[in-house]
Amino acid sequence: MRAMVRAYSISAADIASEKARSGGDVAKFDFANVLKLDRLELRAVGPRDVHLRILAVSGEHNVDHAILIPAIPRWAKSSQWARK
């Protein structure tokens, strides 16, 4: 039996659109324009599937980072972001 659920998503197209809107200025980047609540159809669960529930706490801080990282231009990344 397939189930319909709602899940938050971040798409590359929405990140690009918001990056263009903010002019590349991270301070003007509004992650609320990128984070979407979508509908997702789950496939039927079988006997070999793992059942996992995750409780997300303090998600705003982590989501903010997940959205902003692709918006930072490569030339603006400091040595702390670079691989050593």
The C-alpha atoms of residue 36 and residue 46 are separated, in whole angstroms, by: 29
pLDDT of the residue at 59 = 55
Run of H or E residues at 15: helix 12-22
**Which token pair is 66?**
């997940």
Q: In the prediction, which pLDDT does 35 show?
A: 87
- Which tokens hold the place of 20? 């263009």
pTM confidence score:
0.49
Residue 15: both structure tokens together: 């990140």
What's the DSSP call for residue 23? T
pLDDT of res. 13: 92
pLDDT for 84: 45
Q: Would the CA dihedral through 36, 38, 43, 49 be positive or negative?
A: positive
Q: Splitting the chain (84 residues) into consecutive groups of 10 residues, what average pLDDT does each group show?
A: 82 91 88 88 83 64 65 54 48
pLDDT value for 68: 67
